[in-house]
Amino acid sequence: MKKLKKQLSVAGIIIITAITLFAIPQALMAQASYKLVPGKDVSIKVLGSSNVHDWTETSAVMESQGDFKLSDDNQIVSLSAFNFSLNAKSLKSEHEMMDSRTYKAMNADQYPKITFKLGSAAIETIQKNKFNIKATGELTIAGATQTITLDVTAVVNPDNTITCTGSKKIKLTDYKIEPPSFMLGAMKVANDLTIQYSLTYKK
């Protein structure tokens, strides 16, 4: 009986030790919620073209946050529960008339928000503190939703903020938006757009 108790005691110690050793790496990879830092390297640009000239609309007013998991040496291990929201009417070009036509084409009064919600993310290390994140999720524009994959370059900065940059090509018609025209059809906007982003996050 004493021998059995001793064996059970030893087994218990081994189990507790194994659980402790397993828990240590998990503790070193703490997951935390990071929010967008207003005004710090934050911008969304929509680049387009027409039969007359190229054009750009820019916004620096948006909301975004995500759960990044970092290792003990500040390397990104995973990204989850990421979301992004932009007021469509915060996008501005150099021409007020073009902006108003763009808002009308996007039906911005009825669908004021452009949003992205993460479904999954795959992370690849490029070099120390620099990563490629393939973020697959749902992009909603003008009330229409498409599943897209963003190729995001993420850098962990010396101040422990995370800067995410990248670009994505989309088509207006994929979101049921008819490319707008101006000057009685003399200027016609192309169907293809490129969305460029630079976003910095902090715990």
What are the residue ranges spanned by the domains of the chain?
30-202
Alpha-carbon torsion (178, 182, 183, 186), positive or negative: negative
Name the phi and psi angles at 11, rounded to 5. -60, -40
Using a cut of 0.85, tell me whether the model's pTM lies above it: no
Per-residue pLDDT of 8-67, as tens digits, reads 454 444 444 343 334 444 434 567 999 998 776 789 999 999 877 888 999 989 999 999
Per-residue pLDDT of 55-67, as tens digits, reads 899 998 999 999 9
- Second-level CATH architecture of 30-202: Beta Barrel (2.40)
The pLDDT score that the predictor gives to residue 109 is 96
Name the phi and psi angles at 7, rounded to 5. -65, -40
Per-residue pLDDT of 142-186, as tens digits, reads 999 999 999 999 999 999 999 999 999 999 999 999 887 766 667
The pLDDT score that the predictor gives to residue 42 is 87
